[in-house]
Amino acid sequence: MRILMLAHFYPPEMGGAGARLHGLARWLRQYGHEVTVIAGFPNYPTGTIPEQYRGKLWTREEMDGVEVIRTWVYTSPKRGGMRRLANYFSFVGASAVAGALAAKQFDVVLASSPPLFIGLAGLFLARVRRASLIFDVRDIWPELAVEAGEFKPDATMVVWGERLERFLYRQANQITVVTRRKEKKLLDKGVPAHKLHIVSNGVDIDVLQPKNLEDWRQKFELGDKFVAVYAGLIGIFQGVDVIVNAAKLLKKQPHIHFLIVGDGVKRADLEAEAAKHSLTNITFVPPQPREAIPDILHAADVALVPLVNEQLVDAVPSKLLEAWGCRRPVVLMAGGEARRLMEESGGGRVIAPGSATALAATLTEMAAGDPADLDRYADRGYKYVAENFDRPKLARQMETVLQAEIGVELAHAERA
């Protein structure tokens, strides 16, 4: 197959969205398919484009055997809704032009949302290239923004977003979602069952083994402290402020230390809050290359996976699966689908989102407990993710969806 992927987020950018598309592209290429990715110049979450991309309209590079066409996008280190929309729509236009000018044909166009608007570029290119459109719905937008409290249900952006959402669902040949809950929600929105397929987020187990690139405990003088790490985006949906609030409560227990690794719109505020309270039991670490994450997780005793509130019932943070893939026990602060996975796996502890008191109490108990209990959590989580979320297997599932759609299209062409 000749596959074109549209990815608003793609490595080296942080986050589960880019990791999902990169993993699928890499494995589909290994399975013998010709894969081209169109992505914007890296800029997320800092809003700053690296020096090597500045002053260019587009570049062409190769990652793991996959051709990656990177295009100019509007971006700014300053935050704001209008700037974010400008970033989204600039990629819609740039990716549509890049795909239309690409000197090759495609059988399928896979557009991954959010941002929802990327579906417009996918639809345009599918029509221009006479290809099938696969709409990969990682999160249901604008519903996600409402659940997180970013918009009110009757906001103009939400009303128009829902209209665009329904339009794209109708136009897509097939739709992939990442959880059963999301599948049910789209069924409730009137999407035909024959269009829907579950292709979960996953992890590359082999990639997540430690490389021993750096001794993180030595670097931050952690010694034999009990270390709890958060590694990922520090944004609106992640609810990382609960970690800083727990650090305040544990200020007099210096044997428990927090590492927060990453960047995002909330990082500066959280660093300021930690400085305001003179917290010495928390360390903020700049964003690290993905290959360093296994070493960071292995340096910790437990991984922290928070979400902003209980309303995000469909969310399964990729960092939950990555922590289990690294054989780390997890303290999960979420409900819904993520809680279900924790209960099924037995890979750690689960508490209510936003409860610093519960987090502080849980970490105090774990630090004082039998280390063998942590090992059991880690082993259960690893076994669960290896059986259910191994990315090579999930790429095969995506391959099946794409091949079935191509078969339908070829049959139509033959009958014509």
Strand partners, 305: 332
CATH 1.10.287.110 assigned to 206-388: no
Write down the mean pLDDT value for the chain. 90
121: tokens are 């570029």
Ordered alpha helix ranges (H), 12-75? 16-30
- Is the predicted pLDDT of residue 114 greater than 50, yes or no? yes
Residue of 19, 54, 403 whose CA lies nearest to 201: 19
Quote the pLDDT of residue 255: 94
- Is the predicted pLDDT of residue 81 greater than 80, yes or no? no
> Among 64-73, 165-174, 179-188, 232-241, which stretch is predicted with the lowest mean pLDDT?
232-241
Please state whether beta strands 282-285 and 132-137 pair in parallel, antiparallel, or not at all (unpaired). Answer: unpaired
Over residues 26-38, the pLDDT tens digits come to 999 999 999 999 9
CA distance 68 to 38: 6
Give span(s): CATH 3.40.50.2000, the chain.
2-202+390-415, 206-388
For the residues 349-355, what does the mean pLDDT come to? 93
Please count the other Cβ atoms lying within 10 Å of the Cβ belonging to residue 375.
12
| Residue 270 CB-density burial (10 A; 0-12 exposed, 13-18 middle, 19+ buried) | buried
Quote the pLDDT of residue 414: 46
CB under 8 Å to 109, separation ≥6 — which residues? 4, 5, 6, 99, 122, 125, 126, 129, 131, 132, 133, 134
Quote the pLDDT of residue 412: 46
Torsion angle defined by CA atoms of residues 307, 309, 310 and 316, in that order, rounded to the nearest 10 degrees: -20
361: tokens are 């109490």
Quote the pLDDT of residue 21: 95
CB under 8 Å to 362, separation ≥6 — which residues? 331, 349, 351
DSSP three-state, residue 214: coil
Which residue bears the tokens 């003179």? 278
Over residues 281-337, the pLDDT tens digits come to 999 999 888 888 899 999 999 999 998 765 556 678 889 999 999 999 999 998 888
CA distance 315 to 336: 8
Angle CA 111–186–307, to nearest 5 = 80
Polymer length in residues for the chain:
416
Quote the pLDDT of residue 219: 87
- Is the predicted pLDDT of residue 213 greater than 90, yes or no? no
> What DSSP assignment string belongs to 209-234?
S------HHHHTT-TT-EEEEEES--
Sheet holding 348-351, edge to edge: 282-285, 256-261, 226-231, 302-306, 330-333, 348-351
Which class would CATH give 2-202+390-415?
Answer: alpha beta
More confident: 85 or 3 = 3
> Among 85-89, 147-151, 177-181, 368-372, which stretch is predicted with the lowest mean pLDDT?
147-151
Angle CA 74–82–240, to nearest 5 = 90
319: tokens are 């960092």
Quote the pLDDT of residue 117: 95
Quote the pLDDT of residue 83: 86
Dihedral sign computed on CA atoms, order 223, 227, 233, 234: negative
Residue of 84, 81, 93 whose CA lies nearest to 45: 84
- Is the predicted pLDDT of residue 96 greater than 90, yes or no? yes
Quote the pLDDT of residue 78: 78
Q: What is the share, in percent, of the chain residues with pLDDT greater than 90?
A: 67
Q: What is the share, in percent, of the chain residues with pLDDT greater than 70?
A: 96
Quote the pLDDT of residue 416: 41
